[in-house]
Structure 1
Amino acid sequence: MTLKEFLNLEKSEEYDFTEYTASDNYKELQELERFFAYQIEKSVYENVNQLYTIYLEKDIFKGLVDPDSKCPLLQMIYIILWDEKHLINCKGNHSLICGETMNSVNTTLNCYVKCTTRKKATKLKNISLYYSNEKFKENLDNNKKLIEFINVYHTLGNFIPFPVGCNSPRGYNNSRIEDYWDLTLKYVYDYYHGDKNSVQNIYTNSKIEKKFKDWLDKFGGWETFIDDNYMFPFIDENGRPKELWKGHFDGAVLPGTTDQCNEYFENAHDWILKRGRIMAEAMHKRIREME
């Protein structure tokens, strides 16, 4: 997929960037099966050796990379859509631009499975249940909102250049935001509006916090941050971050009901697609200006 081919897609905002260097067998996988195959390859889960071996024999994992920082096409898109001054903090080894996947599937899917199965704890390391338990499999396959969200998980509108060293700590062992993008935006909003300590809700490590603040300061203010990062679908009519489910800013960090999980799936899907369309339009405009 070249940049020109990407721009000529009828719906470039729906393109899955994990396909860029992936095998044909991976591309043939659909929805949840593709998502779980990607997760198995990227993480060390228990009880998946047999499934991993099957996928390995089919070359499912051949060429499969984490696209936010390793997809050449996405790297070109970052350079087109973002000014160099905003990318300086995001360049790591070999000048690769560090990217972040804003809205995660894993955390809310774990909560959804816990709500629907009433298990004390459910993690994706028990992913083999999806393939061995027909009732469990049917429950996930029939959740249209979950499927739709997973289908846009690795699309344009869910990626953003991010300061080096700040992407992983935003999600791992962070009980204050648990990788949720709306909470991240909430604390960024607070930072720009005078609460310089709000970033401590995102990062507890002072060195990482400083890197993140340095990146934020390059934008100068909240309005510029939103504009330059094409973040309007995640912002309400008053210019404040929108909740991914009702009551998220005033309640528990994690969803506690299936309704809250489904609201997250639906809102994340809708806002990712809208942002992707805005970004695609901006790309066409910038390329015309360069010609």
Structure 2
Amino acid sequence: MTATEPWLPVIGYGGHIKATTQELVVAHGSATRRYPLQEVEHLLVVGGHTLHTSAVTNLLKAGAAITFFDIDGTPVGYLYPYGYRPDGAVRLAQERAAPHRFAQPLATAGLQSRLLLLEELSGHAGQDLFYAGEQDFLHQAREELAASVTMEELRRLSRLTTDMYYEVLSRTLPPELGFRRRASRPYRDPVNAMFSLGYAMLYGNCCVSLVGAHLDPDLGMLHEGAGSLVYDLIEPQKARMVDRTVLGFARDGVSDGDYECSEKRCYLDGSLSTRLVEALRESIEQSRIDTQVRILREALLENAEFHVLYW
């Protein structure tokens, strides 16, 4: 944690958070981390932890905010020191930003990250996963995204190429799993159910960082509506942080007893869900998400260059 990234997330269960007048101490299992109190501007408590009153008192005296989240990353409440004012400059800069400046690199990076995973999977399989013309079309679409001048065209191409991506992915998986494309709820196959679990975890991690940076998660650039900024930032991260892990489970780690599908929906067995969650905790990189949020914040506040970390 540095002065340019002053929000501190404590995620999961079983942590012990306390403080002296000089430092914040976070103990989790056998690991203990210490942070100079003056560098902690926003403590983010995600899940279930023991929060000592010493931490609350000393953080508030030092002028820091504390926000609490459910384990899925949904904000539930906050503590502010007396007279505290959230960083209105960040919100104002976000409201005034030209969406296209951010939406274009986000959409382009989202497609590029998916192309890289598809090409990696083709190499591992020793065969071409693409039907005639598909790969050329996706590469051409990437060039069009990078040159697109309208939000309508960015969103249309982003949706189209995302749908194609999942159809190509389906060719890497055992047909008996029933995955053909990315579907909406309720999910009727185990692969869509696993994707949903992974994306929910990634969403939560990103939402925590955005709130820590005083950015509005509902004020997006490429997407619109509730959680739109979260969806903007996780789109280029899905292939690397979630899809690769889910595909590995689908190919090698799922048996008939790990799920149960009916005409209405598919349920993952508790053991499979637990194993998948543990693997996703390893593949979802909170530090990388924090860095991306910092890049966005600096681009908004200081007109710095905006670029997307996608692989």
Task: State if a TM-score over 0.5 links the two structures.
Answer: no
TM-score (norm 2): 0.30
Structure number with greater Rg is 2
Q: If each structure's helix is expressed as a fraction of its own residues, which one has the higher value?
A: 1
Higher relative contact order (CA 8 A, sep 6+): 1
TM-score (norm 1): 0.31
